[in-house]
Amino acid sequence: MIYTLQSINAKTYSGDLVFLYGDEAASRDLPLGKKEIELLSTRRQEKKDQLLVFDRLPHHIYVLSFDSEREASFSQEMLRRKAMDLLRRLEADKVDDIALTGEGVLPEEVAAFIEGLTLADYSFDRYRSADVWHLNTLVIDSLYLKPEELEANHRLWNRIHWCREWVNLPVQDLNASSFADELVSIAADLKGVSCTVMDKKKIESLRMGGLIGVNRGSVDEPRFVVLEYKGSKQPPIALVGKGVMFDTGGLNIKPGSYMEEMKSDMAGAATMASVLFAAADNRLPVHLVALLPMTDNRPGYNALAPDDILTMYDGTTVEVINTDAEGRLILADAIAYAQKNYDPALIITAATLTGAAVRAISTFGIAAMQVNADNPYTLLSLVGNQVYERLVQFPMWDEYDEMIKSKVADLRNSTASPQAGTITAGKFLAHFAHGTPFIHLDIAGVAYFSKPQHYYRFGASGYAIRLLYAFLQMQDMIKK
């Protein structure tokens, strides 16, 4: 989609026009006739959130009515969601070039609507033979956005786009080595960003027992990618993302349809790389390190087996109870590496880690946990409510530690009980932070949608990028 800014007079504009209307007190600039205004008023009395279309042959005026008097974050989220309704109507009308203005609408509401349009317009098309409809151009009334604001948002949305592309790609076309190569290429074009790629030999020399152990069943070699963006001289925030390029479950192989969509099990790594790139694109004054352990999880060769005992990067021994609890094994090595080598102010993990998270809160938010990070977590939760990528905090009580103790090693990677699966996974990861402030985001329910939801079509969502980016924009609010 091509975005441009220009002054728009709604009453004289001659093309297809989208008009946001949020407040009855502001009606003098409505581009409608008397009877059309009466119809709009009547319809708003019935329901304020709706789309009305008025013919101006050969063009149309799409009036998106909403309630601007609601709480700001909710109002903005409703505008994002209504963007999908508009896109469906535009496609039906074969309209792919539109202009956008409004009345009784705030700049941040306009920005939220454009964001919704952008996210809703994405679909994974590269393997399709037939052409797929997309919005071509969007002319935005310059009354609402400054050029630098639009450009900064556009760069963020571009990173979300590429995150979704990576997560949607099948492992045949994006394995650990090819993903690492792509990250190297992107980092080379960004000022202040460095990229280090560690191959299997280097990973073995570091004694990363989790990453090497999970990789034992695969013909494809693992990679451990470290991206660093030095936008400030402060201690870094470490962003650790799970990069299981495809998850069969290993010898505890996933049954039936549970193996579908497992190309998305690297969404955590794609998310954290995208957050760092977005911060670098817009020159945020933060110091970030993204640590991305990558491998697929296969049942071949000398595959990891239940009862195996691994020695992790920090020396912790782990009894393998279930080879399908592999994500926490590779994340543990990366967390310990971050803690030892970067002394971060905060470690944040993102991972499609547990089906238990989906069963607990469905697909409407992120299951989150924290240890020693009260202030950062509070800010992250507030930001989540603002951008509507919301967190549900799970407890990290000491009693849960008993559930991951092993009789033959320091820890076990899973429990025999189906209870508290999301929490015990978070507890396992927190061990490797060794007291460093730690936040864990289980994005299993939101990284990939099996059917369209709100302004996301089927497939990868890029969920949590907007959350973490907004959090990074507000770092000065955290009390040290």
Do residues 412 and 404 make contact, with C-beta atoms less than 8 angstroms apart?
A: yes
In total, the chain counts a number of residues equal to: 480
How far lies 24's CA from each of 28, 42, 65, 123, in Å? 10, 11, 10, 36
CA distance 117 to 20: 13
**Catalytic, out of 43, 44, 89, 254:** 254
- SS3 of 274, please? helix
Number of other CB atoms surrounding residue 263 within 10 Å:
24
CA-closest candidate to residue 35, choices 43, 46, 45: 43
Cis bond before residue 437 (omega within 30° of 0):
no
Q: Are 293 and 243 in contact (CB under 8 A)?
A: yes
Per the residue annotation, which of 328, 412, 427, 457 is the catalytic one? 328
Q: Which residue has the tokens 């209504």?
A: 82
Token pair, residue 158, equals 């571009």
Residue 109, φ and ψ in degrees, nearest 5: -70, -40
Q: What is the Cβ-side half-sphere exposure of residue 293, based on CA atoms within 13 angstroms?
A: 32
Residue type, 90: L
| 338 Cβ neighbours under 8 A, 6+ residues apart | 238, 240, 289, 291, 344, 347
Structure tokens at 79: 């505008």
* Rounded-to-integer distance, Cα 46 and Cα 353, Å: 44
Report in angstroms the alpha-carbon separations of 367 from 221, 271, 298, 340, 442: 31, 16, 27, 27, 5
Look-up: residue for tokens 């497992």? Answer: 262
Helices (H) and strands (E) in the chain, counts: 13, 20
Question: Is 328 a residue of the active site?
Answer: yes
Verify whether residue 11 is a known catalytic residue: no
Q: With contact defined as beta carbons under 8 Å apart, do 190 and 283 qualify?
A: no
By annotation, the residues acting in catalysis are 254, 328
